[in-house]
Structure 1
């Protein structure tokens, strides 16, 4: 078998396949954006049964010259698990049709667990185009990727751009619904608590779920003033604006869901110290509840690790990072906490309870 530089042709062909798979990976995101923009999951859902290609292109009003291209897109998306190709019997003949899968059900607008806002936010060119600047970013000592592409830190950008800020908050709220699905099975985590502060809680999606499950638990959603200023609470839900780097409202527990991965170790230690002060000021033995990624390459399945490492690269945009358990442990110790325990939560997120 022929070889070049000590590698045989078979290895080189495999290398080419891997290279091309990543080279054209952006097409995956654009196909996802395509089905959301055309509301194809909605169409199939409203059809109440698997839909044939001819029915789909008719509803979408696709010109005849593009029908074959739509078929190519649907075939590729089906191969990747977004649709299921099934056989149906209709008008005395067997036909191929497309049905929803668990992934595309998450892209039906109006569903309680719809992740459409997440897709729309993340695939907005405002965000995705920033990654064209990775080369410049790695040579800058302190600037975030958004500093380079947008001219400011991401949180400052949100403050100055209300429309995108609204899109971002809707995306985070949709993601929270997925975490909340898991939190419903974690009642022991909240039992015995009288007050809890959801730091960076956005519009209160998670806090509302907690309030419903524990009517006697008082929840405070703590976020940037511009996020919470027009929101109204209820008997056991309140909104407070402020800066988590300055101080956090006093409570029995502090919840940090998908917060710490946005920040450097130095910033995380500052946030955790403020959390420790918030639960210590209450005169009880409180705790901090963290929902975030814990990288565990030795124990996780390959695809789960792949997602976690991809999320780690994604956090480059704000100079944040995903962390291994050892890295989390180091942060807790430097922030003055004495103990912690970690539990699986969703497919890639963990729940960590830390104690002073």
Structure 2
């Protein structure tokens, strides 16, 4: 039996004697593999080789190959809430200028989304926030009321001054402690991590000195600003209310960082905070009016009732602080979101 000639004019040598290659250049065992199904030593189809080449369609990369677009390399994505060094890898938050990640529970895309995220914080975290307020702010207010009663009983001018300063220091210190603990709770629960009020208060106590120090300095500067034609005071009030607690808790930075963070988004930030202040003022006025029907203004009973019934304002202030700060950080660097903030808290 004769064989078809090869390219050199000699007789060909198919792998199985007595058989011609099947049509289409697909011989049997030992020959060339059929298209799309390479055998040992054969050439794989373009763009889909086997071991050592590119991955199969829809699959994961083979040993030594390259991953398909959108799949991270080894050591890529960190687990939720625990990012690796730096910011999330490919496929995380949008690149700078691409807009806010709407799925992030703490980063707002616009004014309406900002209010939505603040309300979501209240729905998600109101229980531990209430415990924090009851464990800190309420006792401080009671102590302040007792000091006021002692002064009113006729302790003299000197005692009145000392008592007023002591009461103010206690209230400010405890309020800052409660704010720091509230920021911790809001951030951890936004990342769906379990956290209790005791853990949050312990964490805030570890930052008590910078919280108190920078908080007192911010209060003094704001007071001086109001004395200087009011407008400087309003400006400082917006800057510190929007970012001071966040800068201290997350970045462990000082008061100078607040200006850098807020100035680039000052007017949108001011608009959000003004609406929050107005809403809080209206609510407090309604509460004071109702309580005034049952207790005389200026009495200890009036003060205690008003402070208890206005606790929702304090709870909401934690959401305002965290959502505003997270949004400012995201505007500065669009890869910053809740996972990064949790990572900064824990390190």
TM above 0.5, yes or no, is no
More strand by share: 1
TM-score, normalization by structure 1: 0.22
Higher relative contact order (CA 8 A, sep 6+): 2
More helix by share: 2
TM-score, normalization by structure 2: 0.22
